[in-house]
Amino acid sequence: MQAPPPIPTVDIADPSILRWDSIGLMLIRDFISEEQEATMIHAFHARDPAKEGKKRVSQHFGYHFDYSTFGASESTFTPLPSYISDILPRLPIQHYLPDQFTIQYYPPGSGIPPHVDTHSMFAEALYSLSFGSTVSMTFRMAGPNDARKMRLPKRSAQDMETAAASSASSTPPGEEDKPEEVVHPSWELVLPPRSLLLMTGPSRYGYTHAIRPRKTDIIDGQAVPRQGRYSITMRSSRRGDEIGCDCAYPGVCDARIRDEMAARAADSR
């Protein structure tokens, strides 16, 4: 079920900024220059030369993403290259800054399954800087199906990174006869190269985001073949007492899921 994308408001002072205020989403076009983009692509392949694989390739800077907690590592830290640290003073939210950076290369045809980034381990602002190629990102308000999937036993940490709310899996056994659940319509947001996406509020906590694994996107009715696309996901880790979440989306909130499991374990004692 696909819906037209919600209509953004264009910032009067800066028309390169589009906002979807009701869901806390913002896109800044031309956030980096073509020169910065070329530097980032060059630096990525200086560390990971292969371009011909079919799978997404990741590099970590700052505190590494920890695939066992879905938060930032306590200790593994790679200093930031200047092409990342240089952009931090220009991020729209300055009272807290990201400290966990994942650069991903998506060869044409690859994507990332629908998921909600961990609520409890990262502060509200989630950034994605796109470069290399235009891509469509699919958003969908999370529903009961996503909540159920997030409560399934996890196969492995790597699966869970993105399978958290993945809608790719099949109907669990015994549930075939249940009435069809409400699935909210998805819509696609075109992310141009060199644009910065900021997710806060509902788009951060209550929507899944995904990139469909395909070689061509349909943009304004035209088939646009994908080239290699890169992104830098930037997150601010929560530490100690800050870890937790009291968002309005308990169905897809890892902090609530952990509480439910603890309560269930206590009940069964």
Cα angle value 148/189/229 (rounded, 5°): 95
Q: Which is nearer to Fe ion, 66 or 117 (CB)?
A: 117
The residue with tokens 């800087």 is 129
The structure tokens 């980034």 sit at 117
CA distances, 48 to each of 22, 58, 105, 213, 256 (Å): 39, 9, 10, 21, 38
The contact mask relative to ligand AKG for 209-248 (x = CB under 6 A, - = no) is: x---------------------x-x---------------
Q: Which of 36, 39, 73, 102 binds ligand AKG (CB under 6 A)?
A: 102
- Residue 116 and residue 162 in contact, taking contact as beta carbons nearer than 8 Å: no
The label of the residue with tokens 């819906």 reads 3
Determine phi and psi for 44, rounding to 5 degrees.
Answer: -60, -50
Among the listed residues 227, 261, 238, 220, the one whose alpha carbon sits nearest the alpha carbon of residue 71? 238
Residue 102 interacts with, from ligand AKG, Fe ion, none (CB under 5-8 Å by kind):
ligand AKG
Least Å from the CB of residue 172 to ligand AKG: 25
> Residue 14's closest CA among 37, 33, 31?
31
Minimum distance from residue 16 beta carbon to ligand AKG (Å): 18
189/42 Cα distance (integer angstroms): 27
Using CB under 5 A, which of the segments 62-70, 80-88, 110-118, 185-193 binds Fe ion? Answer: 110-118
In angstroms, what CA-CA distances link 136 with 6, 95, 203, 214? 14, 30, 16, 10
Residue from 128, 138, 166, 208 binding ligand AKG (CB under 6 A): 128
Among 91, 112, 116, 253, binds ligand AKG (CB under 6 A): 112
Binding of residue 254 to Fe ion (CB under 5 A): no
Q: How far is the CB of 209 from Fe ion (least distance, A)?
A: 6
Query: Which tokens go with 56?
Result: 């997404």
Q: Choose, by CB under 6 A, the member of 66, 117, 188, 217 that binds ligand AKG.
A: 117
Q: With CB under 5 A, what is the number of residues at the site for Fe ion?
A: 1
117 binds Fe ion (CB under 5 A): yes
- Judged by the rule CB under 6 A, the positions of this chain that interact with ligand AKG are 102, 104, 112, 117, 128, 209, 231, 233
- Judged by the rule CB under 5 A, the positions of this chain that interact with Fe ion are 117
